Structure 1
Amino acid sequence: MTIVTRFAPSPTGMLHIGGARTALFNALFAKRHKGKFLLRIEDTDKARSTPEATQAILDGMAWLGLISDEAPIFQSAREARHVEVALAMVEAGSAFRCYTTMEELQKRREAGEAKRKEAKADGLSDEARASLRAEADALLAPYRSPYRDGAPPPNPDAPYTIRLRAPDADTITVRDHVQGEVSIKSSEIDDLILLRADGSPTYMLAVVVDDHDMGVTHIVRGDDHFRNAFRQVPIYQAMGWNIPEFAHVPLIHGPDGAKLSKRHGAQSTLEYRDMGYLPEAMNAYLLRLGWSHGDQEIFTMDEAAAVFDLSGLNKAPARLDFDKLNDVNAHFIRAADETHLLHLLKPEIAKLTDLTDTVETRLKAALRTVKERGNTLPELAEACRFLWDSNSDNLNKKARKALREDGLTHLSNLRITLDQSESWTIDALQDVLESYCAAHTLSMGQVGPPLRAALTGGLPAPDLAPVMTWLGREEVLARIDKHLLA
């Protein structure tokens, strides 16, 4: 059997990280078993589905590298097939035409709520209260249509829906890789609508038909859909189709344990891109939000695809932790190839300064060392600021202190020594600094601060010898002169 998984978002908003994690799990499971990972855009909600949201989903998945193995399927284009299946179920007797109107159902619900309210009134006997509760429960119970057994329509032209004939068996059972084997009473499932009165298919029908026609063997999705599985299994059974294996994964919660919402920070997947997170890091972080394998904390996509299986999915909800995400992102920044990292960093640098050839040359030289100094791309860009900005007009307190009398004297002497250096390599410049200290019986703690203040304005930067090589002789001397001549 070829394993086939799918990700089926609704284009009514952006791709959120919960959806991105679902897509990741499905993609990895298919890759692990050399199967297929498919994408279906569930755009049947015509009022809320937008081309912009569809594109945002595609962009988010492309950024994460979660590419479907076939062209995306748009559910709205398959309406005729959904109708065909509903009519086939009517012919087979597993579905029926129901002439109950929405107004009648609303009156039923209102009557049930009214009975429930009556049962709470003061002064009732236990017997009367129990009777009212029983009436309320009957009215509010899952709907079983009077037309399921062939009652005639109110008139030949009456509008109707097509409803599933809810199963007569005592229980409906779903076997789930995360939730285990769970059974509910069949009486808890109503005669759900398959086709609306306007002839359009409902979500429940469309999902089952599409999953069957796409050959989906495993459905991995959020556990907010777990209840839906009990409503969908009878449709599979009515059509005589194989039921896919299910894995309903707990949702991601915020740091406070509450359901993840906008107040917890970024939600859209592309917001994380704009915040400076690498796609490799997002995948590695999302992977561990609800899945584990041994003691390994960080996985590349290839490493994950080699071991991912449904048995590793956790039953408890995972919590979003930005500190952990930052740590994972820092790991991938440090492991990144410098050419690739520079490509990612350039847009952030461009927000801070003109990306001239000189700046780019300095970045290329410094990045191998400086990339240890940022958890995100914006942080890394700020850590590189000394490469183009000496901050000499806005020295911090520590830098101003370092450039007082003794500091300026050392800086003046160092300027002469540096200018006389025949070589401008890290080793040569380190020798210059050490020789100067030895000749004047000074420590690097006395000589380094004024030089660092002149070169970076007190901005954090790596060791001085590398900094001077990245800046170049001309820039180093110019920055020193600016303070000596002030």
Structure 2
Amino acid sequence: MMTQIRTRFAPSPTGFIHLGNIRSALYPWAFARANGGVFILRIEDTDLERSSQAAVDVILEGMQWLGLDHDEGPYYQMQRMDRYKEVLGQMLEQGLVYRCYMSSAELDALRERQMAAKEKPRYDGTWRPEPGKTLPPVPEGVQPVLRFRNPVGGSVVWEDKVKGRIEISNDELDDLVIARPDGTPTYNFCVVVDDIDMGITHVVRGDDHVNNTPRQINIFRALGKEPPVYAHLPTVLNEQGEKMSKRNGAKAVTQYRDEGYLADGVVNYLARLGWSHGDDEIFTREQFLQWFNLDHLGKSAGQFDEAKLRWVNGQHIKMADDGMLAGLVAEQLAKRGVQVQADARLAALCGLFKDRCATTVELADWISMYFVDVEPSAEDLEAHVTEAVKPALATLREKLTTVAWEKGAIQQAIKDSIAAHGLKMPQLAIPVRVLVCGRAQTPSIDAVLAAFDQKVVLDRLQSV
């Protein structure tokens, strides 16, 4: 029997979640979904000064929008303090941790001496109990920290699914503080207890955690547990080649929703920002889950490219169901104070214009001309609605007054008007677009006009 795959996303709620962060949720989610596993959401909120409920809400909202549904959680580390203290007590009894009374001032002085001697600054084991060793007298009024007895000698070795074999000498690792003087446990300890209690089999996270991994592996083994499989993802860089971060101009995930991106388009783009399936650039969520595994994660940093994201999103808009797009466009129009039903007519309009759009904001820009007055630019009016073409416009308006209001009849009226005045199609079609649509370029003019209310078209042509 194979062990059920259990993955987790464990963000710290200390700021908004951007695309670089959310990729660390996408891959473990996809791996769990692709293998019939369980995806767990864990909020690592032990940084009380910087954590906020608002940041938690943004994490949940961003994941919900992208469809990264979790099976268990969200668990909150601050609600698990009793469990951490229980394990600390057991480890203290078993001699796996010890009390250290070295003050901050003493620790700073030790580090200064080591650096002056060109040594790596590290805790020297003053309070580590050893057979035959006499410990210093316990100072009065000092609350000790708890330190983990790191193994002496040998190495920590793991096969990382992204980076390959990694080996760290235990002599490079000092005895880690796993509980502060007030008794609160530290990050590396909490993570291990959580991963054990939640049965995590695979940890997919950013490579800024690589240095934590050997310490965590040693704590796993001290507790008699085998560590999970690790996959450390390369950093996501912004367009300037810097690490993507709020300070470097990264946007909250939910801002892409507001800017008219589709969840499936963003998932497709993010998936390719560190994983590949041959040369496939555009794929559905279903294809992604069918193909995804940890063996094709990229080893080099992915660089965010907004133009590429727009292109990918545009492909998904082309593939999207018109009725689904209608709902999103109605939301975009509502933000502009334009209340429109997401009905069959709006869906048909989405189908007419979606090939020209990279976002639902652009789609709403096009479709708004059907629901609000348009104002052609002075430049377009001067360039296209000339005295020479006005007679043909009058003829067309007259013909459109009496035709059946459907594409074929409108097309014939345009052709007859062109013939009557000895014009070519663009000479009449472009001025009609400017007057009726407020712009010189649109899809096929007969289809565009047919989607309007007949009276609106006649009124706008009457304006010259």
Could you say which TM-score interval applies, normalised by the shorter chain? over 0.9
Letter aligned with residue 11 of structure 1: P
What does the per-residue CA deviation read over 1:159-179, in whole Å, with 9 as the maximum and x for residues that have no partner?
211111111132221221111
Letter aligned with residue 410 of structure 2: L
Contact persistence 2:179–2:185 (CA under 8 A): yes
Match of 1:250 in 2: 234
Match of 2:436 in 1: 455
Contact persistence 1:390–1:479 (CA under 8 A): no
Distance in 2 separating the partners of 1:353 and 1:7: 38
What does the per-residue CA deviation read over 1:298-324, in whole Å, with 9 as the maximum and x for residues that have no partner?
222211111211101011000001111
Letter aligned with residue 285 of structure 2: M
Shift in Å at residue 112 of structure 1?
3.9
TM-score by length of 1: 0.89
Matches within 5 A, 1:57-456: 57-113=59-115, 115=116, 135-137=117-119, 140-149=120-129, 151-155=135-139, 158-262=142-246, 265-356=249-340, 363-389=346-372, 391-392=374-375, 394-421=376-403, 423-456=404-437
> What stretches of structure 1 of length at least 5 have no aligned partner?
116-134
| CA RMSD of superposed structures (Å) | 2.0
Q: Which has the larger radius of gyration?
A: 1
Letter aligned with residue 28 of structure 1: A
Shift in Å at residue 473 of structure 1?
1.5
Which residue, out of 19, 22, 25, partners 2:21?
A: 19
Shift in Å at residue 363 of structure 1?
3.4
> Counting helix residues as a fraction of each chain, which structure ranks higher?
1
- Structure 1 pair 314–4 and aligned structure 2 pair: CA distance change class (3 A): same
What does the per-residue CA deviation read over 1:383-430, in whole Å, with 9 as the maximum and x for residues that have no partner?
2243235534x4342332322222111111111111132x11101111
Shift in Å at residue 353 of structure 1?
5.0
Contact persistence 1:362–1:471 (CA under 8 A): no
Secondary structure class of the residue paired with 2:451 = helix
What does the per-residue CA deviation read over 1:75-125, in whole Å, with 9 as the maximum and x for residues that have no partner?
111111112222222222222111111221122223444x2xxxxxxxxxx
What does the per-residue CA deviation read over 1:284-310, in whole Å, with 9 as the maximum and x for residues that have no partner?
111001001112112222111112111
What does the per-residue CA deviation read over 1:18-68, in whole Å, with 9 as the maximum and x for residues that have no partner?
221111100110111111000100111112111111111111111111111
- Structure 1 pair 30–69 and aligned structure 2 pair: CA distance change class (3 A): same
Shift in Å at residue 278 of structure 1?
1.2
Contact persistence 1:194–1:202 (CA under 8 A): yes
Distance in 1 separating the partners of 2:42 and 2:430: 60
Shift in Å at residue 356 of structure 1?
4.9
- Structure 1 pair 202–263 and aligned structure 2 pair: CA distance change class (3 A): closer
Shift in Å at residue 360 of structure 1?
7.1
Secondary structure class of the residue paired with 1:82 = helix
User: Number of aligned pairs?
Assistant: 458
- Structure 1 pair 153–333 and aligned structure 2 pair: CA distance change class (3 A): farther
TM-score by length of 2: 0.94
Contact persistence 1:3–1:218 (CA under 8 A): yes
Secondary structure class of the residue paired with 1:72 = strand
What does the per-residue CA deviation read over 1:262-301, in whole Å, with 9 as the maximum and x for residues that have no partner?
4764432112212221111111111001001112112222
Contact persistence 1:402–1:449 (CA under 8 A): yes
Secondary structure class of the residue paired with 1:66 = coil
Identity between Structure 1 and Structure 2 (%): 38
